[in-house]
Structure 1
Amino acid sequence: MTSENRVDMIELHRNTAEHLAWAGVQVLALLAVAATLGLGPLGWAAGIGCALGTQALVRRAMLRHATTCLGPADRITLVRAALTAVIAALVADGVGPGLLVVLGIVALISDFLDGQVARRTGTTSAFGARLDMEVDAFLILVLSVHVATELGLWVLVIGLMRYAFVAASWRWWWLRAELPPSRARKTVAAVQGIVLVAASSGVVPHAATAVLLALLALLWSFGRDVLWLRRSRT
């Protein structure tokens, strides 16, 4: 075995161990919730499914982006993925909003931190950006499912928007082109999480109006991006 192959094997084993460790963290978080609030079969199924799915998708993305190790910002993003798995378990189990809101707030804070850490440590990457985006999209989907139980199924449009865009890109190739950076797009995306967490609490007045305004902003943002991609196709 050459030295290069030996290094590759070491990296493979190290990555496998870290992925297993992150899966273990998610399971421990679910056990903590089960011990304090209780967790039924649906909650366990949702939580374990999210934990396994996250690790499988992370490994696949690392291979696609030729990434051999996780950066500090990536690990913060995985903390948010673990929080999202617990939130999904709470939503599936119908547990009260108290812990869900607290975890949602922590997840939103981590979304701010991972970008800051990536820039300050010089570890920004296409893999990290994609991981961050996908974890955010799933968190928004889970939160929209919870809020939809109170406000109506129309709220699910917020959570499904990203996945509808991806599905459309399978049919129209030009939707897969890279978009230019946009502060407006980032702001609208951040607003979705803030509004959905606030609406999840059940104590915010006019929650339906706030969620509707967030949805309209999201439709505008996606619509603007689609028009830009269509005009820029080659």
Structure 2
Amino acid sequence: MALNNTYGARLPQQETMVGAGVQLLLLALLGTAIGLGPAGWLTGLAFGIATWAVLTRALRRTQPSSFGPANRVTLGRAILVGGVTALVADSFQSSPPVSLLVGLTAVALILDGVDGKVARRTGTSSALGARFDMEVDAFLILVLSVYVGMSLGPWVLLIGTMRYAFVAAARVMPWLNAALPPSMARKTVAAMQGVILLVAGAGVLPYAVTLGAVLLALGLLVWSFGRDIGWLWRQSRRGPVEPVRKDGAGDERPRELVGAAAARSER
């Protein structure tokens, strides 16, 4: 029985190794197609190694019986985000095809609405899956902010770093970890971030329109953060509050506070 448990625990970790291999294959394809430079290769490899290491550590700690279909979808999204990251890093030294970057990003955003549904339909929702999903979303928004910021200015990074600033603040102000009530406005604002950054990065709109759209996205995100932080502060003054749910099955966690790139149901 102990041997079976050990073997079962190793299976999910083996899937992360497969994911790392697919990440390397994607980078090789990008290198063959566009001549990915050193910056792109190094950044893409760093992303792949970091993803494999963090995910493997989490699997060893939680020891799930299987990796799960929803996590496979999220891992696929992470691989695409690794490709986007490599292309953005390479864009500092060369000009990779915008269509390729937009295509990878678009698929990653579309799949963001798939993994949650798969988790619910298969009954495989988990805290690990929810966290994995959130971190992939957050990093994609950060990378897109870097890319768009090269043309609009460094202020665009506020969109990508806001979630990380919130997490850092929550470490010293625990009341920020409390659960929030569901909000359609919050979901809508979160959904806009990835879509607007994708359109802005595609360069299909006039500069003035693109600038206005990104400013609007940032303004709405600041408003949404401010509203939720204000609500959490008022609740904290009234007494102990319920912590954020960790099972990923509810809808209490604010999507933009965890960097979600598109509207979807929580896992």
Normalised TM-score (structure 1): 0.93
Is the Cα contact below 8 Å between 1:62 and 1:68 reproduced in 2?
no
Which residue type is aligned with residue 55 of structure 2? V
Deviations 1:138-188 (A, max 9, x none): 000000000000000010000000100011111111112233333332222
What's the CA shift for 1:125? 2.2
- Cα 1:147–1:37 change in 2 (3 A) is same
Does 1:96 find its partner at 2:100?
A: no
CA RMSD of aligned residues (A): 1.5
* 2:116 alignment counterpart: 115
Does 1:36 find its partner at 2:37?
A: no
Is the Cα contact below 8 Å between 1:30 and 1:44 reproduced in 2?
yes
What's the CA shift for 1:126? 2.2
Larger RCO of the pair (alpha carbons < 8 Å, separation 6+): 2
Deviations 1:76-120 (A, max 9, x none): 111111011000000000123110011111011100111221222
2:228, 2:183 → 1: CA distance? 10
Is the Cα contact below 8 Å between 1:61 and 1:127 reproduced in 2?
yes
* 1:229 alignment counterpart: 232
What are the within-5 Å matches in structure 2 for residues 190-229 of structure 1?
Answer: 190-205=191-206, 206-229=209-232
Equivalent pairs: percent with the same residue? 53
- Cα 1:83–1:65 change in 2 (3 A) is same
1:162, 1:67 → 2: CA distance? 28
* 1:53 alignment counterpart: 50
Secondary structure of 2:112 counterpart: helix
1:17, 1:61 → 2: CA distance? 13
What's the CA shift for 1:42? 0.6
Is the Cα contact below 8 Å between 2:141 and 2:194 reproduced in 1?
yes
2:76, 2:221 → 1: CA distance? 26
1:232, 1:81 → 2: CA distance? 35
What are the within-5 Å matches in structure 2 for residues 1-234 of structure 1?
Answer: 3=1, 5-63=2-60, 65=62, 67-94=64-91, 95-205=96-206, 206-233=209-236, 234=240
Secondary structure of 1:112 counterpart: coil
Which residue type is aligned with residue 80 of structure 1? R
What's the CA shift for 1:18? 1.1
2:128, 2:166 → 1: CA distance? 19
- Structure 1 unmatched ranges of 5 or more: none
Which residue type is aligned with residue 217 of structure 1? L
Is the Cα contact below 8 Å between 2:84 and 2:105 reproduced in 1?
yes
- Cα 1:196–1:229 change in 2 (3 A) is same
Q: Which structure's residues are more often helix, by fraction?
A: 1
Deviations 1:171-212 (A, max 9, x none): 111112233333332222221000001001111231111111
2:56, 2:225 → 1: CA distance? 28
Is the Cα contact below 8 Å between 2:9 and 2:64 reproduced in 1?
no
Which residue type is aligned with residue 219 of structure 2? L
- Cα 1:87–1:217 change in 2 (3 A) is same
Is the Cα contact below 8 Å between 1:11 and 1:68 reproduced in 2?
yes
What's the CA shift for 1:217? 1.1
What's the CA shift for 1:66? 5.1
Which residue type is aligned with residue 223 of structure 1? G
Secondary structure of 1:223 counterpart: helix
